[in-house]
């Protein structure tokens, strides 16, 4: 039985939402059930953090509307400070960072952005879920960060494992020594995901360990992109748009970002968007 990585994006978010817990020290989980309920008090709390993860279900229009509302309010709240907002995007893979930059500078159109980042084949959710956020970023000169692993590399790991990667595969990902597979509780959660999905006859990964490795690679790549941006722009506040599966407890992105940040004052939080 093989598990196909692109088909798993929605599944991860839905299945793993039940496994989200409180992060020790660096992050807390809060929820928003609808647009229009993000209070000024909550924005004032969020703006104290260096990184804010907005945990979404990718196919929920209301989640993306809430993301835009939060980003808009944070941008306004930081208007008179030295902090500069940036937006990290799971939806775009790291090789396409130059294309995002061209869009932000007005050198290419929105249609060209969509085409040149291969959005429809590499992500595929309704473009209009994210387009208002991208337009707001362009209008307000808010940097956009492409976070995700190239799909070809994730797929290769899911099918044949990390050891099958060749030199050319490492251009946009980390050395193997930095891809940490040692969290046994996370491994068990991924085993449950794998078994549940395999029973439905879906996907393109025939090995449970490779499936876990592909998920960790996904997490590590995005964590590396977030940490690199923060380390290079320490005055930034990064709002990360990402599936809920990637901000669960101390397993996925947040712990891996924290591992890469040496600043002891660094803080991050997760804001989980509910249906």
Burial-class residue 116 by CB neighbours within 10 Å (0-12, 13-18, 19+): middle
Structural domain of residue 219, as residue ranges? Answer: 8-273
SS3 content of the chain, % helix, strand, coil (to 5): 50, 15, 35
In a domain, 167, yes or no: yes
Mean of the per-residue pLDDT values of the chain: 86
* Residue of 13, 19, 29, 21 whose CA lies nearest to 270: 29
Distance (Å, rounded) from C-alpha 183 to C-alpha 134? 35
- pLDDT of 195 reads 87
In a domain, 216, yes or no: yes
- pLDDT of 245 reads 87
For the record, the structure tokens of 273 come out as 């968007």
* Residue of 273, 268, 275, 274 whose CA lies nearest to 28: 268
What CATH number is attached to the domain comprising 63? 3.40.50.11550
The number of distinct structural domains making up the chain is 1
CA distances from 222 to 44, 65, 227, 253 (A): 26, 23, 9, 7
pLDDT bucket at 24, cuts 50 / 70 / 90: very low
pLDDT at 194 over 90: no
In a domain, 18, yes or no: yes
In a domain, 261, yes or no: yes
Helix axes 208-232, 184-199, angle to 10 degrees: 130
Distance (Å, rounded) from C-alpha 159 to C-alpha 201? 16
pLDDT at 60 over 90: yes
In a domain, 3, yes or no: no
Q: Write phi, then psi, for 94 (nearest 5 degrees).
A: -55, -35
* Percent of the chain scoring above 90 in pLDDT: 73
- pLDDT of 182 reads 94
- pLDDT of 274 reads 79
- pLDDT of 89 reads 98
- The answer to whether the beta carbons of residues 222 and 148 sit under 8 Å apart is yes
| Dihedral, 79, 113, 228, 269 alpha carbons, nearest 10 | 60
- The answer to whether the beta carbons of residues 151 and 122 sit under 8 Å apart is yes
In a domain, 1, yes or no: no
- pLDDT of 16 reads 43
pLDDT bucket at 203, cuts 50 / 70 / 90: low
Q: What is the average per-residue pLDDT within 221-246?
A: 96
Distance (Å, rounded) from C-alpha 112 to C-alpha 91? 16
- The answer to whether the beta carbons of residues 220 and 180 sit under 8 Å apart is yes
In a domain, 2, yes or no: no
pLDDT at 52 over 50: yes
- The answer to whether the beta carbons of residues 134 and 110 sit under 8 Å apart is yes
For the record, the structure tokens of 233 come out as 């722009």
Residue owning tokens 């939402």: 17
In a domain, 66, yes or no: yes
pLDDT at 56 over 90: yes
Condensed to tens digits (0 to 9), the pLDDT of residues 121-148 reads: 999 999 999 999 999 999 999 999 999 9
* Residue of 221, 265, 252 whose CA lies nearest to 53: 252
pTM exceeds cut of 0.85: yes
For the record, the structure tokens of 223 come out as 């964590």
């Amino acid at each position: 039985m093989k598990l196909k990585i692109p088909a798993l994006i929605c599944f991860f978010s839905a299945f793993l939402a039940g496994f989200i817990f409180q992060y020790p020290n660096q992050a807390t989980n809060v929820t928003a059930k609808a647009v229009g309920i993000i209070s000024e008090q909550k924005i004032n709390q969020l703006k104290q953090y260096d990184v804010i993860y907005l945990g979404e279900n990718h196919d929920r229009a209301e989640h993306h509307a809430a993301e835009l509302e939060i980003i808009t309010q944070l941008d306004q709240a930081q208007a008179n400070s030295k902090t500069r907002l940036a937006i990290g995007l799971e939806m775009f893979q790291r090789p396409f960072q130059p294309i995002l930059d061209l869009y932000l500078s007005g050198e290419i159109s929105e249609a060209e952005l969509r085409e040149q980042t291969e959005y429809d084949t590499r992500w595929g959710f309704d473009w209009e879920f994210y387009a208002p956020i991208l337009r707001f970023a362009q209008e307000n000169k808010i940097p956009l960060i492409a976070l995700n692993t190239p799909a070809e590399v994730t797929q290769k790991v899911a099918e044949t494992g990390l050891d099958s990667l060749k030199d050319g595969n490492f251009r946009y990902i980390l050395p193997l020594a930095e891809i940490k597979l040692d969290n046994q509780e996370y491994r068990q959660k991924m085993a449950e995901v794998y078994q549940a999905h395999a029973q439905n006859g879906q996907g393109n990964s025939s090995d449970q360990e490779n499936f876990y490795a592909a998920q960790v690679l996904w997490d590590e790549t995005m964590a590396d992109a977030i940490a690199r941006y923060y380390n290079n722009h320490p005055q930034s506040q990064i709002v990360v748009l990402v599936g809920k599966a990637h901000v669960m407890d101390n397993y996925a992105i947040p712990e891996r970002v924290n591992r890469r940040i040496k600043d002891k004052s660094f803080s991050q939080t997760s804001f989980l968007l509910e249906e």
